[in-house]
Structure 1
Amino acid sequence: MNIVGITACTSGIAHTYIAKEKLIKTAISLGHKIAVETQGTIGIENELKKTDIDNADVVIIAADIKVTGKERFTGKRIVEVSTQVLIKSPRALLNKIQEELKV
């Protein structure tokens, strides 16, 4: 499965990066391709490439705040959760998405 994601928390520091790392680590361990953008106090980092978005099977937005640039995902399957969901149970989330998409 090809995954793109955005992580963002209220302070834009700790949970943003913890959620990103958990998502990447878990996705890779399950054999998925992934690219994750962070949006925080220092702005956007690792901005998603158009080709990654175009090839994505799913977009995961793990955010506790409003994120910018969601219009890039028009026509894509979008899953929105809090950063806590991703931090506490990334494998369960990815397994559920995989099951729903039958990938």
Structure 2
Amino acid sequence: MKIVGIAACTSGIAHTYIAKEKLMRAAEALGHEIHVETQGTIGTEDELKAEDIKAADVVIIAADIKVGGKERFAGKKTVEVPTHIVIKSPKALLNKIQNDLGL
């Protein structure tokens, strides 16, 4: 499964990066390809490329705040969850998404 995503928390620091790291490690452990950008107080980092978004099977937005740039994902299956879900159970989340999409 090809995944792109955004991680963002209220302060834009701790949970943002923890969620990104947990999501990336879980995806890689399960054999998925993943790219995650962060949005926070220091701006956007690791911004998603248009070609990665186009190739993605699913978009995961792990955020506790409103994120910018959602229009980039028009027509894509998008899953929005709070950061704590990704931090606590990243593999379970990815397995559920994969099963729901039939991939």
1:68 aligns with 68
Looking at structure 1, the residues matched to 46 and 36 of structure 2 have their Cα atoms a distance apart, in angstroms, of 7
Stretches of structure 2 lacking an aligned partner (at least 5 in a row): none
2:48 aligns with 48
Q: How does 1:68-87 map to 2 (within 5 A)?
A: 68-87=68-87
Q: How far did 1:22 drift? A: 0.2
Looking at structure 2, the residues matched to 101 and 65 of structure 1 have their Cα atoms a distance apart, in angstroms, of 26
User: What TM-score does the superposition give when structure 1 sets the normalisation length?
Assistant: 0.99
Q: 1:41-97 CA distances to partner (integer Å, 9 max, x unpaired)?
A: 100000000000000000000000000000000000000000000000001100000
Looking at structure 1, the residues matched to 86 and 58 of structure 2 have their Cα atoms a distance apart, in angstroms, of 15
User: What TM-score does the superposition give when structure 2 sets the normalisation length?
Assistant: 0.99
The sequence identity of aligned pairs, in percent, is 73
Moved >3 Å (runs of 4+): none
2:33 aligns with 33
Aligned partner letter, 1:86 = V
Aligned partner letter, 1:55 = A
Instruction: Look up the SS of the partner of 1:19 in the other structure.
Output: helix
Q: How far did 1:35 drift? A: 0.2
Number of matched pairs: 103
Q: How far did 1:19 drift? A: 0.1
